[in-house]
Amino acid sequence: MADIIQLLPDHVANQIAAGEVVQRPASVVKELLENAIDAKSSSIKLIVKDSGKTLIQVIDNGVGMSPTDARLSFERHATSKIRSAEDLFSINTKGFRGEALASIAAIAHVELKTKMEDEELGTQIDIEGSEVKSQDVVVTPKGTSIAVKHLFFNIPARRNFLKSNTVELRHIIDEFHRVALAHPDIAFTMHQNGSETFNLPQSNYRQRVVNIFGGKTNEKLVPVDEETEVLKISGFVGKPEFARKTRTEQFFFVNDRFIKSAYLNHAVNSAFEGLIKEGSHPSYFLKLTVDPKTIDINIHPTKTEIKFDDEHTLYAILRSSIKHSLGQFNIAPVLDFDRDQNLDTPYGYKEKSATNPVVEVDRSFNPFQEDTPQKSGGFAPSHRKVPAAQWESLYVGLESRGTKSIRDFSEVEFESESKSEELFSEDTSLDDKKTTYQLHNKYIISTIKSGILVIDQHRAHQRILYERFLKHTTIKEAVSQQLLFPLQLQFSTTEMEVIKQLQPDLEHTGFVFSQVEDTTVEITGVPINVPESEVSIILEQLISDVEQEVPDSSFSATDLLAKSLSKSLAIKRGQTLDGMEQEHLVNSLFACKEPTVSPNQKTTFITMRVDDIDKKFM
């Protein structure tokens, strides 16, 4: 039998490795930014065109490379970070496997320019699909510039799997945030299609968080600082009242490397237990420093998941540190058993100054004298004798009713609770009563010819609102209610991009924007029946839906907007409805084009036939 096992060519092996390292344009951004940091750069510039599909360029002022190193950097497993297997357990750099540049060069056009500080001239290398096209001497500033063009040009199937520009740009910004937050001592700038998206100067950690997520973030942060023999924790958590519906502001950094850990995230959530509502997520920007020998960062291709030697200890320290910070800054209630609560000043008198009591006495008052007018300021008896004529006035209107005397008690009516009708009255048919009933404040029961109808009030109202918003957005005739005072809301740069994208559709549903700049949104009008207090919650939910939807090529922003708004504004389960509201909901549901399912394709109602009910009694 002939031999069937053979070695793969280098360009095929590189493409296979690229499948693990480069999943989308954001993966290239991550690898290039981390290489720039490892080059000891103090300023890094990221340039992106068409969400990375056309161009991703990273320019740094690091140490640069010699001509030999520049050529060798594109070979597989070529690295300057490790020399032996033992070095894997003391890694302090971002990259170390030597696969990033080789994988990127296998699926894109790469142009590298680099120069060391001591050299007069630099090196330029052009590579297309792992094939070196040219290597020349070039005049270039100190540092390295890598431009990745036409990503996945030789793998059209992978390129077709990329999402829309909005989704891919969101992933790029996420990676940019993770790298920039981990290194506040480095200046970062980002340009998208020729416009500047971020300009982050060198700063401390708090300023870096505020520069990325907006000026209003500063008042939301609670510092966390703890140092033990096992773990050092620094950073910030958000105040409970600013908890969000999304997980966009949750960052863990271990030794300045962004990681994802459901276990440590649970530790943070347990520290906030009882302080935030169910379904809300706290914000945190926490940097953990541990001994590199106690972690393994080589268990995942993207190195976003790591393994700890002693997770239980880290869990306990992290949870107690956050609880301590929340209590120290009067965010969480603290029990003080040595304090006497009886000595506390009531809230109503806390800001008032003490005044001397004054007692005034009416010296002319005579308790045995009748009908004596009282002077102001004196102590009058609480039960004065009232002339008989005044007492008689109480019975005016009761002396006679027609020709009957007040003594005829057959006409006296007593005030009592309103009498409720019997469910099955002998002299009244069901047709004369209301035809809908509410069950457990969740379902609406209505009668039909063949039996009964059970309607889920929450899903039914979602369907009604969904079709209404779709109609308003399509015909652009929505009605707005003007706010007495403009409503100002603060969002991060990423969230502002989503709002700007959806602004035309939001305006068609009834929202009126007077300002959409930087990180501030000013709203002067909202759709009918939308309470002002719900506007921020609705927009946060909308942003969350857009970010989590990960839409494909058939994605419709209008459809997603209508779904999100209907989900936020629909009647909730547990809400009591009167008879008129129940009937209106039923009539509106069956006036819809698709009354049988909610916008998320879930059943809105079920029917129970009389025959099925009869079988229960057999």
DSSP 426-493: SS--GGGS-SEEEETTTEEEEEETTEEEEEEHHHHHHHHHHHHHHHHHHHT---EEEEEEEEEEE--H
Q: What number of H helices and E strands is found in the chain? A: 16, 24
Q: How far is CA 292 from CA 110, 227, 321, in A?
A: 33, 16, 22
Give residue 156's identity as a one-letter amino acid code. Answer: P
CA–CA separation, 360 and 379 (whole Å): 8
Does the structure show a pLDDT above 80 at 180?
A: yes
Residues 558/505, Cβ–Cβ less than 8 Å: yes
Lowest mean pLDDT among 217-221, 428-432, 524-528: 428-432
pLDDT in tens, 24-80: 899 999 999 988 998 899 999 999 999 899 999 999 999 999 998 888 888 876 666
Measured from the Cβ of residue 369, the count of other Cβ atoms closer than 10 Å reads 8
Q: Do residues 327 and 334 touch, judged by C-beta distance below 8 A? A: yes
| Coil/strand/helix, residue 130 | coil
3-state secondary structure of 10: helix
Query: pLDDT at position 597, please?
Result: 92
What is the share, in percent, of the chain residues with pLDDT greater than 90?
28
Neighbours of 574 (CB within 10 A): 10
pLDDT band for 549, please (50, 70, 90 cuts): low
CA distance 562 to 458: 15
For residue 152, give Cα distances in angstroms to 15, 108, 159, 346. Answer: 10, 6, 6, 69
**Distance of alpha carbon 545 from alpha carbon 84, whole angstroms:** 47
Give the separation between CA 70 and CA 111, rounded to whole angstroms. Answer: 11
pLDDT at 434: 56
% pLDDT > 70, the chain = 77
Q: 602 with 462: CB under 8 angstroms?
A: no
pTM for this entry: 0.68
Query: What pLDDT score does 106 carry?
Result: 87
Which of 89-93, 309-313, 379-383, 579-583 tops mean pLDDT?
A: 579-583
Report the pLDDT value the prediction gives residue 429, as an integer from 0 to 100.
Answer: 40
* More confident call, 310 vs 595: 595
Give the pLDDT confidence score for residue 74 in this predicted structure. 86
The residue whose two tokens read 């027609």 is 402
Encoded amino acid at 313, one letter: T
Nearest-angstrom CA–CA distance, 261 and 548: 19
| pLDDT the model gives residue 301 | 58
- Interval 111-140: pLDDT, tens: 999 999 889 999 999 999 888 899 999 999
Average pLDDT across the chain, whole number: 80
With bands split at pLDDT 50, 70 and 90, how would you rate the model's confidence at 242? confident
Classify strands 109-115 and 232-238 as parallel, antiparallel or unpaired: unpaired
Residue 564 has pLDDT above 60, yes or no: yes
* Res 455 pLDDT > 90: yes
Distance CA 484, CA 48 (A): 42
pLDDT band at 470 (very low <50, low <70, confident <90, very high): confident
All domains in the chain, ordered by first residue: 10-200 (3.30.565.10), 212-328 (3.30.230.10), 443-606 (3.30.1370.100)
Name the residue with higher pLDDT: 29 or 17.
Answer: 29
pLDDT at 185: 94
Per-residue pLDDT, 295: 78
Lookup: tokens for 173? 């910004």
Residue type for position 240:
P
Of 83-92, 157-166, 275-284, 407-416, where does the model show the most confidence? 275-284
Residue 16 reports pLDDT greater than 80: no
Residue indicated by tokens 């929340």: 326
Length of the chain: 618
pLDDT bracket for residue 143 (50, 70, 90): very high
**Confidence label for 551 from pLDDT (cuts 50, 70 and 90):** very low
E strand or H helix at 513, and its extent?
strand 512-517
pLDDT value of residue 15: 65
Residue 382, pLDDT > 70, answer no
The pLDDT of 555-573, averaged and rounded, is 77
Please tell me whether residue 412 adopts helix, strand or coil conformation.
coil
Pairing of strands 232-238, 605-609: unpaired
Q: Which of 48-52, 281-285, 297-301, 539-543 has the lowest mean pLDDT?
A: 297-301
Residue 82 has a pLDDT of 55
User: Which of 98-102, 153-157, 484-488, 516-520 is least confident?
Assistant: 98-102
Between 170 and 528, the higher pLDDT residue: 170
Strand 520-527 versus strand 512-517 pairing type: antiparallel
Mean pLDDT, residues 315-340: 77
Inform me whether the pLDDT recorded for 344 exceeds 70: no
CA proximity to 104, closest of 218, 21, 5, 212: 21
Is 50 exceeded by the pLDDT of residue 423?
A: no
SS3 content of the chain, % helix, strand, coil (to 5): 35, 25, 40
